[in-house]
């Protein structure tokens, strides 16, 4: 009984493993509409904070807490099933990704703070609109990149 596979069998097995990794990454990710909806919500919140500041003062914290709760529940097994994400790979924190995320966040906060200190009008609208568009446009790409790297380890 020979257990050594032929080169064709080994190639087919490796292609099957690669195909299954790709399927797992696709199943673990959020859909494109979720990224677009998140970007629209952030941009709409910026417009709302500029046009109706009293509404944001009274309901802003509740809206942010609700959205954070939805994001947190989406990362649980029950929430993932509800959002039709059947799998979620266990990902170890990558130091480079955390550093880039912190750098981008510091840049956005810094630019917004400087613009607000300079009394530039509509800072909230422009900063949240930029973050919303970035999230809607680059979110799916970033997610595919992170999941592909996590699954290739």
What's the sign of the alpha-carbon dihedral 104, 68, 76, 143?
A: negative
Residue range 3-60, pLDDT digits in tens:
788 888 889 888 888 888 777 766 667 778 888 988 998 888 888 888 888 988 898 8
Smallest Cα–Cα separation from 86: which of 76, 98, 100, 71? 76
**What is the rounded CA–CA span in Å between residue 34 and residue 95?**
26
The pTM of the full predicted model, rounded to 2 decimals, is 0.65
């Amino acid at each position: 009984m020979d257990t050594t596979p032929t080169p064709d069998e080994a190639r087919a097995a490796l292609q099957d493993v690669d195909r299954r990794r790709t399927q797992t990454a696709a199943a673990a990710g959020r859909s494109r509409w979720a990224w677009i909806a998140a970007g629209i919500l952030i941009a709409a919140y910026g417009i709302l904070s500029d046009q109706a500041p009293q509404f944001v003062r009274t309901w802003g914290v509740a809206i942010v807490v609700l959205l954070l709760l939805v994001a947190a529940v989406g990362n649980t097994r029950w929430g993932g099933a509800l959002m039709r994400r059947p799998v979620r790979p266990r990902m170890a924190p990558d130091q480079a990704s955390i550093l880039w995320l912190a750098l981008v966040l510091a840049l956005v906060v810094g630019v917004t703070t400087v613009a607000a200190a300079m009394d530039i009008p509509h800072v909230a609208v422009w900063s949240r609109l930029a973050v919303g568009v970035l999230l809607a446009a680059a979110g799916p790409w970033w997610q595919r990149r992170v999941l592909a790297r996590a699954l290739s380890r």
